[in-house]
Amino acid sequence: ATIHEQKLTRGSGGELHQLAQGDIPVLTTAQGGPVSDDQNTLKIGARGPALMEDFFFREKIFHFDHERIPERVVHARGYGAHGFFETYESLAAYTRADIFQRAGEKTPAFVRFSTVAGSKGSFDLARDVRGFAVKLYTQEGNWDIVGNNMPVFFIQDAIKFPDMVHAVKEEPDRAFPQAQSAHDNFWDFISLTPESMHMIMWLMSDRAIPRSFRFMQGFGVHTFRLVNAKDESTFVKFIWKPKLGMQSVAWNEAVKINGADPDFHRRDLWDAIQSGNFPEWELNLQLFDQDFADGFDFDILDPTKIIPEEVLAPIPVGRLVLDRMPDNFFAETEQVAFMTQNVPPGVDFSNDPLLQGRNFSYLDTQLKRLGSPNFTHIPINAPKCPFHHFQQDGHMAMRNPVGRANYQPNSWGEGPRESPQQGFRSFADAEEGQKVRLRPESFADHYSQARQFFLSQTAPEQRHIVMALTFELSKCENPAIRARMVSHLLNVDQTLGEAVADKLGIGKLPKPADAAVPPRDDLPASPALSIIEN
């Protein structure tokens, strides 16, 4: 056999069907040049040396060498799907957003679920917050609701986000543990950050180990605004409720599943959608005005607080259906860029200091991660409505202004112009004050809602919280940090603090943490007592 024939028969079934013929297209370089041989580098004789001149080889390896992009600095591990949002009824009384004007309106959507702390290759069933990021391709541009499966957050001010994320991720000297809240740095930061106590209750609850993405709620967390055509503002909280209800696994199940199938959540979503079981969520709104907000002891700008649903019933306003998996994971799920700043006219921000910081962070990080200011040219990030602007050039520019004018105003009558009527107008809230770095007094109560959450749990759920805190804190080696955590738990609920202290073998209870705590004598007796003694 000649050298050429040997090559064709090498490898598994490497016969003639490996060649372009019939419907099989010719393999090309990225420049479109047809490739004659994709099995052998160009050499002097069959045994080399190899030649620099081999541009097939160099292009192929060059591209491979650059396949990786930075993983997301948080929420690195995720999985997404396409679908649509269907509006139930017009919400014109509250918002001028086009997506909410007509009953039955369908808007294309892309959703990415994620864990927060683990790297891209970590396991699905970590005890962690889950990201629930929704991109709605509205007729007035992309609207991203970049939420989580928990309604509150660890910190009140975005300036603490880098510290919080450093503390939750692997420790810098040893580079472990990955994807776990079970370590000293995490509990050190948390125990020094009492505002995180409400979130810690959620994180130690069954909500942090969901059975599947399909059985999770989603929350926009912050208070946002809706603004109607008369420029009247209503505060709003966004809540996604799964049609299937909520389910979690138990911790011992999570541990086994992580070992046996680290892709458990991915596989579940893939299987469900591929078999036509399309998961569905209802978007619910909690709508309220300033007077209502003023009636609370807490501040509606504080992202560590919820508005209890018993106090303000969420109203279902539409449904989100996920019915199609991406054709390509990298192109879509990996390259999708969510940003809290993406809101349509009729949706606006509140002064929540965490939200204000996020509005800077997401745009900034996308440049690093996707490598070019033109990341909106990637199909998954491009609007699906008409769009016209004068932004131009930069790396990977796919769409530049057409014609002579790349600025405005211009005398050529070319290009788009602003529209005071149709365009986004910020709600003209009256603001005044001194330039200061201060937390408001209204953000000071860190325990009441943590306690409310703990007491709202059923007995088995409370037991799971105790077990989770015991397990996670048992991995924290520093006794002072453990004791400091217990001192906070005693403020959340005395029996909770005592139970965790007992299980951790802390003989002498620490003093409850010194913090601004409202009087506790009006609280209901804790049902935790009975379950913990069992």
Given the complex with ligand HEM, which of 288 and 338 has the nearer CB atom? 338
> Binders of ligand HEM among 340-359, rule CB under 6 A?
354, 357-358
Region near ligand HEM per CB under 6 A, out of 142-150, 178-186, 371-379, 460-468 = 142-150
> Catalytic pick from 142, 148, 185, 284?
148
Q: Which is nearer to ligand HEM, 381 or 457 (CB)?
A: 381
- Determine which residue in the list 56, 72, 286, 488 makes contact with ligand HEM, applying CB under 6 A: 72
Decide if residue 161 touches ligand HEM (CB under 6 A): yes
- Residue 200 as a binder of ligand HEM (CB under 6 A): the answer is no
- Residue 161 annotated in ligand binding: yes
CB 156 within 8 A of CB 353: yes
Q: Which of 88, 115, 114 is nearest to 101 (CA)?
A: 88
d(CA 168, CA 154): 11
Looking only at residues 276 through 305 of this chain, which bind ligand HEM when binding is defined by CB under 6 A? 303
Question: Would you count residue 306 as binding ligand HEM (CB under 6 A)?
Answer: no
473 is an interface residue for ligand HEM by CB under 6 A:
no
Q: Which residue is nearest to ligand HEM (CB)?
A: 131
278 annotated as belonging to a binding site for a ligand: no
| CB closer to ligand HEM out of 114 and 462 | 114
User: Does the annotation count 381 as an active-site position?
Assistant: no
133 is a site residue for ligand HEM (CB under 6 A): yes
The residues near 284 (Cβ < 8 Å, ≥ 6 apart) are 238, 239, 240, 241, 314, 315, 316, 317
Distance, in Å, from the CA atom of 298 to the CA atom of 293, rounded to the nearest integer, reads: 9
Residue position matching structure tokens 């503390």: 167
Of the residues 97, 117, 136, 146, which one makes contact with ligand HEM according to CB under 6 A: 146
DSSP string spanning 21-89?
-TTSPPPB-TT-PBPS-SSS--BSSTT--B-TT-HHHHHHHHHHHT---PPPSSS-SEEEEEEEEEE-S
Give the DSSP per-residue string, 323-374: EE--S-HIIIIIT----TT---TTEEE---HHHHHHHHHHHHHHHHHH-STT
Least Å distance between CB 365 and ligand HEM? 4
User: Residue 415, interface with ligand HEM (CB under 6 A)?
Assistant: no
Residues within window 104-123 making contact with ligand HEM, judged by CB under 6 A: 112, 114
* Residue 144 vs 445, nearer CB to ligand HEM: 144
* 147 binds ligand HEM per the rule CB under 6 A: yes
CA distances from 415 to 312, 401, 410 (A): 47, 8, 9
**The pair of three-digit structure tokens given for residue 494, joined into one six-digit string:** 């005395």
Q: Does 488 bind ligand HEM (CB under 6 A)?
A: no
Site membership for ligand HEM, residue 257 (CB under 6 A):
no
Output the smallest distance, CB 44 to ligand HEM, in A: 47
Active site residue 478: no
Cβ distance to ligand HEM smaller for residue 370 or 468? 370
Query: Any binding-site annotation on 362?
Result: yes
Q: Would you state the structure tokens that stand for residue 450, as one six-digit string? A: 């943590």
Task: Give backbone dihedrals phi and psi of 126, rounded to 5 degrees, phi first.
Answer: -65, 150
Determine if residue 174 is labeled as part of a ligand binding site.
no
Angle between helices 479-492 and 494-503 (to 10 degrees): 150
DSSP labels for 166-207? HHHS--TTT----S-S-SHHHHHHHHT-GGGHHHHHHHTSGG
Is 94 labelled a binding residue?
no
Q: Judge whether 358 is annotated as a binding position.
A: yes
Query: Residue 513 interacts with ligand HEM (CB under 6 A)?
Result: no
Q: With beta carbons less than 8 A apart as the criterion, state whether 133 and 111 touch.
A: yes
Residue type, 149: N
Q: If binding is defined by CB under 6 A, does position 369 make contact with ligand HEM?
A: yes
* 166 touches ligand HEM by CB under 6 A: no
What single-letter DSSP state applies at residue 524? P
Q: Scan residues 314-343 and list those touching ligand HEM (CB under 6 A).
A: 336-338
CA distance 341 to 221: 14
If the CB atoms of residues 236 and 506 are measured against ligand HEM, the closer one turns out to be 236
| Main-chain dihedrals φ then ψ at residue 32, nearest 5 degrees | 95, 0
Q: Residue 199 CB, nearest distance to ligand HEM (Å)?
A: 10
- Return d(Cα 349, Cα 226) in angstroms, integer: 9
Q: Which is nearer to ligand HEM, 72 or 82 (CB)?
A: 72
Residue 262 or 353 with smaller CB distance to ligand HEM: 353
According to CB under 6 A, which one of 148, 149, 284, 374 is a site residue for ligand HEM? 148
Binding region: 72, 112, 161, 358, 362, 369
Q: Which residues bind ligand HEM (CB under 6 A)?
A: 72-75, 78, 112, 114, 131, 133, 146-148, 153, 158, 161, 221, 303, 336-338, 354, 357-358, 361-362, 365-366, 369
Binding region for heme: 72, 112, 161, 358, 362, 369
Residues catalogued as catalytic: 75, 148
